[in-house]
Amino acid sequence: MGDNDQNTADGLVVDQLLTTARAWLAAEPDADIRDELGAVIIAAERGDAAELRARFGGRLQFGTAGLRAAVAAGSMRMNRLVVRQAAAGLGQWLLEREADGTVPDAARRGVVIAYDARRKSDLFAEDTACVLAAMGIRSMLHPGVQPTPVLAWSITGLGAAAGVVVTASHNPPADNGYKVYLDTGSQIVSPVDTEISACIGGFDPLTVDVAAADDPLIERLDTSWVDRYVEFTPSVRLRPDVAGVPVAYTAMHGVGGAVLLRAFEAAGFEPPFVVAAQQEPDGTFPTVAFPNPEEPGAMDLLLETARSCGAFVALANDPDADRLGAAIPQADGSWRRLTGDEIGWLFADHILANTSGADRLVVTTLVSSSLLARMAAEAGVHSEETFTGFKWIGKIATERPDLRLVLGYEQALGYLVAQRPLDKDGITAAVLMAEIASVAAADGVTLQDRLDAIADRFGRYVTAELSVKMPPADGAAWVASIEADPPTEVGGRAVTAVTSYPEANLVRLMLEGGVRLQIRPSGTEPKVKLYAEAVDLERSTVDELLRALATP
């Protein structure tokens, strides 16, 4: 194709995208998004179509994490038209599952909906309810902003057919998202995500029917379900006889702060010392660039508070409060942020020592530490390993009704220490971590002492992660190439075994000396993630092996 032909083809594409964008402009209900889209259209008309292509070059894909993108105009962004289309797709899927008997009585049981404090979360939740009502499906809206665990916990209590929470969790401030839950209180897993996605694709986002806000099928819940969740939280305590110790806490500008304070009181603990500047919900996240407890610097204000109040442990929820970060004091007076696996080991050590029964089950993910399985084996407890993502832990729990899940965790700060919901819960996890710190203090030891004792029993497990940014297609190709032609050595250590997990897009390499390396493309970001685990090796050595794998 010559340059003129290519220019003509590009011009036709831009003309088509402009036609689409103008139609979106006419349908867009929000003035701020209309203004923004109008500027994108004007720029394209003047010859700069890059942003137009980015906004309308496809459809935001609905996966096992639901939807997640920046709030802006266009079919590739989060906005009310995209959310209405997603809600219609979910509604269609529920009606089809009701018809085939998979989700009985789905329309009457309905969908329970909650939202966080991010930009337009309330509007996205309201639109979801109105779209479902227009389809003849009951919807139940939680009052005000709520933590994700409250939504997930209430699904089974209400007997709902599904749940929706509008949140982008710990993503950057510009983003918002849309997560869907099954009637078990667990997140959707494949193939449900592809089924819902196919239903979404059958709707024109510009013409989705929307019921009135006062439609009788829309039920506006009061705070009683939040109250019931708070009343439930003390049940996670295993040593209620032990008095609490000073705890520092941050809600990280998210929606978990108020509920966590109530949960601590219900569990018999004194209120934690909160980071005041981060306690109230604020979707702009003014004090953190990236509101994720895993990110360097995100917990700095928390550690300042912890030092000043003499805390025994510092706890952080992510913005929707389904994750828990933690830091602990060291002998020299400094504070150290714990890895997700270290937090998991502390939970396992405490739970396995304070529960009993041959029916106990612990579950973790492929990329989390293998130490949990060893701890479980020593305690005579069933253990399972599943795919990356907490939704799979919930699925294991539903598939093993003969066993009692006492702990599920993933290294990305996700923990389930209660019988419900079947999803990670940073609030009940915080309550139990406060108890673990209290029991350690009562025993005259620190949480670092607890971790050292675990290392003395099982060896000092060292875990590390590395992310390599690249386009999703390149990342998938890289992982596929390692799977097809695995290396014979990494960093001078021979590869002794190679295992592929196609369902997780993950390849595991075992090296001499028991070193485990894993690689997979991220499911939500343009990056490839690498994971390492070794026993009784220096962290610097483990990091070198990761870098060696990351250098094709």
CATH 3.20.20.70 fits 230-458, yes or no: no
- Over residues 276-290, the mean pLDDT reads 96
Predicted confidence band at 7 (pLDDT cuts at 50, 70, 90)?
Answer: very low
The answer to whether 334 is a known catalytic residue is no
For residues 161-184, give the mean pLDDT. Answer: 96
Return the structure tokens found at 523. 């499911």
Report the DSSP pairing between strands 111-115 and 162-166.
Answer: parallel
Please name which of 313, 232, 328 lies closest in space to residue 273, comparing C-alpha atoms: 313
User: Domain 461-549 - what CATH class?
Assistant: alpha beta
pLDDT band at 354 (very low <50, low <70, confident <90, very high): very high
Give the span between the Cα atoms of 132 and 141, in whole angstroms. Answer: 12
Q: Is 163 helix (H, G, I), strand (E, B) or coil?
A: strand
Q: What separation in angstroms does the CA of 30 have from each of 415, 417, 550?
A: 38, 41, 45
pLDDT of 551 higher than 90: no
Residue of 77, 90, 84 lying closest to 27 (CA atoms): 84
Mean pLDDT over residues 403-408, rounded?
97
Mean pLDDT across 147-154: 97
Residue 129 above 60 pLDDT?
yes
Q: How far apart, in whole angstroms, are the C-alpha atoms of residue 18 and residue 46?
A: 12
* Residues 289, 301: Cα–Cα separation, whole Å: 13
Tell me the backbone φ, ψ of residue 153, rounded to 5 degrees.
-65, -35
End-to-end CA distance of the chain: 35
**Both tokens assigned to 63:** 């996966």
Q: How confident is the model at residue 529 (pLDDT cuts 50, 70, 90)?
A: very high
- 288: which residues sit within 8 A by CB, 6+ positions away? 252, 253, 278, 295, 297, 298
Q: Return the H-helix or E-strand segment holding 14.
A: helix 3-27
Say whether 495 sits in a helix, a strand or coil: strand
Which residue from 466, 278, 436 is spatially nearest to 352, judged by alpha carbons? Answer: 436
List the single range of 76-85, 133-142, 254-263, 472-481 with lowest mean pLDDT. Answer: 472-481
The reply to whether domains 61-222 and 230-458 share a CATH topology is yes
Q: Binning pLDDT at 50, 70 and 90, where does residue 320 land?
A: very high
Task: Say what the pLDDT of residue 525 is.
Answer: 74
Domain boundaries, the chain: 1-57, 61-222, 230-458, 461-549
pLDDT band at residue 165 under the 50/70/90 scheme: very high
- Rg of the chain in Å (alpha carbons): 24
What integer is the mean pLDDT of 347-369? 97
CA distance to 14, 26, 56, 206, per residue, from 23 (Å): 14, 5, 12, 8
Indicate if the pLDDT at residue 10 is higher than 80: no
Indicate the SS3 state at residue 377. Answer: helix
* Mean pLDDT, all residues of the chain: 95
Angle at 338 between CA 177 and CA 185, to 5 degrees: 40
Contact 178, 86 (CB under 8 A): yes
Portion of the chain with pLDDT greater than 90, in percent: 92
Average pLDDT rounded to a whole number, residues 237-261: 98
pLDDT band at 64 (very low <50, low <70, confident <90, very high): confident
Catalytic residue among 169, 186, 368, 369: 169
pLDDT at 63: 79
The pLDDT of residue 32: 97
Indicate whether 265 pLDDT > 70. Answer: yes
Q: Under a CB-based contact definition with an 8 Å cutoff, are residues 76 and 532 in contact?
A: no
Count Cβ atoms below 10 Å from residue 512 Cβ, excluding itself.
12
Distances (CA, A) of 347 to 12, 281, 351, 432, 434: 59, 28, 6, 8, 11
Model confidence band, residue 11 (pLDDT cutoffs 50, 70, 90): low
Alpha helices in 275-317 (DSSP H): 300-309
In tens, the pLDDT along 26-42 reads: 999 999 999 999 999 99
Instruction: Read off the pLDDT of residues 74-109 as tens digits, 9 standing for 90 and up.
Output: 999 999 999 999 999 999 999 999 999 999 999 999
For residue range 48-57, list pLDDT tens digits in order.
Answer: 999 999 999 9
Residue 472 has pLDDT above 90, yes or no: no
CA nearest 60: which of 176, 151, 150? 176
Rounded to whole angstroms, the Cα distance separating 202 from 211 reads 19
| Strand partners of residue 520 | 529
pLDDT at position 552 is 65
Domain boundaries 61-222, CATH class: alpha beta
- Give the pLDDT confidence score for residue 522 in this predicted structure: 82
